[in-house]
Every structure is written in structure tokens, then in C-alpha cells.
Amino acid sequence: MVADVILHPLSPMRTIAELGLNKLTVSTDRRVSEALSIMQRSNQAALTVEENGQAVGMLTLEAAVLSDSDATVLSVMRGIPFRIDADALVRQAAKDFVNEQAEFAAVYKDQKFVGLVSALMLITELGRSWDPLTGLSWSDRLRDWGVDCLDNGQEISIVFFDLNDFGVYNKKHGHIIGDNVLKGFARLLTQAIDPNRDVLVRYGGDEFAIGTTRNREETMTLLENLGEPSFSIPGLEEPVGFCYGVSGGKRTQEPSRNHVAATLDNLINLASQACLASKPGAQKGKILLDAPKAEPIRSGHVPSGHELQAIAENAAKNLDSKSFRITETLFVMDESGSKVAVIGERIGKKGTKRVSGESSLNGDIDQAAIQAVHDAFDRLA
């Protein structure tokens, strides 16, 4: 079924509800030391105090540090700050913060408390670049979000989207229709995501991307809920088609927090290349970097040009070192289990230094190859 997109005006800025609100709560009878521990573990500067399911106050990190650790939260909390509607635009909310000279505000949706928003959240959001046509942030939003998630040990998936034959719409129908196509696709994706789990950006031109904390299965369900990979907008007889590629979301072990920026680059690149390979008329035999493996290797060297070798080489290119490259990739099965190993080299003024790295295979061979490259790179130090 082709989705019909109604072109309501898009807000040129996100709403408060889309910021990822602070939803930490604690009951009035808990000790200050417990509340402090909760905030420190969650890296939050405040939390909401509840009684009988209702928000009755808040406690800041600073107040908790300065208070008696054995005191109850009820005895040291302060009142609920001023209220902001969840559907308020960030720009207007920032003006309200200035008028109230506040650090925090309580956010309500249909008279129900849904979380806290801080002045820092608003400042961060206002400092981002955003696209006035679609109302979406540009790619820097995805990068900040992805690095934060990986640095906190969260698993993420990246979905990369590209419109089919977008240039045709501008040439055949004019830029007004072309702009409506972009706005229509932004609307379709905006309606599909959950702001608490997903971040949507316009990556550039007719490319869009979603970053999500969903696992692979949940991510595929999100994409299936979009229906057919096409949508209709007013002014066009034929539906507009799109394609996508997916990466990540398949780890079965605690992810490494080393080189998170490079890991994010690889996830984006893998999703982008998978998207391009799935476009109508894509060259047959093109590597689908995130597809099931067609030629498994039980043990030994990975042939040149094989998908796994390409992933390892790409991971090395994204590291902060132009002189480091992967020369060999191996898939090893022994008594200790399955591993991906790589051999790399760096050419410098003192000659060539060769290093090796490896990573155990726990369900995701792509990520094992990337981690093996990072392991080898670390050994250069």
C-alpha cells in the first residue's frame, strides 16, 4: 500500500517532546544518597520526586551533594518548576526559560507530567544546524547522538534512505514539486519514529537517516510499518519511490567504547552503501555490505574483494591515520571459538610497522571485523 502524505506545514524547529526528556523519578521516602546515585549513574543533573504517581517536586544533583545523605528526598526537594507544554517549539520554550530565569521546567502533555527539560538541553538544540525546508536537523545531530550512545555502551542501528530519481522531479515538475517531495518524505519518516528511541535527520540532498537504539529485529519492524517503499503527494500522479540500507543492531556482547567516532562512521558508511546497492537498476553483483553472507569462510585468509575484507579496509580508512591500512583479513575457527583477525601496517619515517588484531565472533561478523581493526590500530601505540 502506497502511503498518502498530507503536506501540513512542518515546524522549523523540534518540539520539547522530541528532545529526549529527563524521566528519572524517585519516591518521597527514598534517601538522598539513593537519589544521588541514580542521577550519577544516568548522568543527569536532576530528577523528579513523585508521590502516589504524581510529580510533587524535584531534586538537583547540586542539592543532593550538599544535603545530608541519610535525609529523605521529601525533606530537601524543591517545588516543581514552571510548566511547559510538550508540543511547544524549542525556540519559544527558550524564551520562556529566559523570562522565568529557570534551570529546569516540568513538561506536561494533556495535563500529564512527562518529564523535565533543562536550559542546557535547549541551548544544545538551538546550537544545532537544521534544515528550514523539512524542519529536520542536519547530519551533525545524528553524529552527536550516535557518539553519545556508543560512548554510553548502547547498541545502535543506522538506517540510510535515498529517494529514487529525485532529480527527475526538479527537472520535470519544477523545484516547488521537488521541495514538496522532500517535505513529504520528511513527514512520512517523522510520523514513523519514536523520539524517545530514534533520531531523524536530513543527511544531505535527497538523503535522510535514522539512528535508533532498537535492535535489528525492531528496526526492521519499523521499516515494515512504512509499508511499500513509496509514497504519494499532491501534484504528482505517480508515487515517489525510495530505498534504504541498514547497519548495526546485531551485537550480542557488550560493545567496545574505544574509537566510537570511527565505529559510527563505519555504521553510517555501511548503511549508505547498502542503500545505494538496493536502488533500482543498481549494478548486479554490487556488494551489499549488510546482507547475509553468500560465501562463508570457515577458516583461513579472506579473499581480496570479499565483503569482510572490504569492511576491514573501510574501517581502517575511517581511523585517524592516513598511513594505516589493512593488508590481510582472516577468519579463524579453533578450540577457543570463532574469531576475525586482521594484519595491518603503517608506513612511517622509520619504516613499516606491521601489527595484528583480533575480535571474537559473537553473532555479528561485520562488527567483529571492525573491532579487530581497532585492536590492531591500538597496538601501534
Categorise residue 360: left if φ over 0, alpha if ψ from -120 to 50, beta otherwise. Answer: beta
* Domain 129-277 CATH assignment equals 3.40.50.620: no
Cell of 293: 553472507
Per-residue pLDDT, 301:
54
| Alpha helices, DSSP H, located in the chain | 32-42, 61-66, 73-76, 90-100, 119-126, 139-151, 166-173, 175-192, 216-224, 260-277, 307-317, 365-378
C-alpha cell at 27: 519516591
| 363 CB burial (10 A radius; 0-12, 13-18, 19+) | exposed
Q: What is the pLDDT of residue 207?
A: 92
pLDDT value of position 288: 32
Burial call 155-188: b when 16+ CB within 10 Å, e when fewer: bbbbbbbbbeebeebeeeeeeeebebbbbbbbbb
Q: Which residues of the chain have pLDDT under 70?
A: 1-13, 250-258, 280-307, 320-322, 332-338, 350, 361-364, 381
The structural domains of the chain, with segments of one domain joined by +, span: 16-126, 129-277, 300-378
How would CATH label the architecture of 300-378?
2-Layer Sandwich (3.30)
The pLDDT, as a whole number, for residue 305 is 56
CATH of 16-126 given 3.10.580.10, 3.40.50.300, 2.60.40.1180, 1.10.3210.10: 3.10.580.10
Q: What is the pLDDT of residues 159-216, one digit of tens each?
A: 999 998 887 777 788 888 888 899 999 999 998 998 888 999 999 889 999 999 998 8
Residue 262 has what pLDDT?
A: 80
User: Is the CB of residue 267 less than 8 Å from the CB of residue 289?
Assistant: no
Spatial distance between the Cα atoms of 199 and 220, rounded to a whole number of angstroms = 16
At 369 the pLDDT is: 82
Per-residue pLDDT reduced to its tens digit, 92-112 = 898 899 899 889 999 999 989
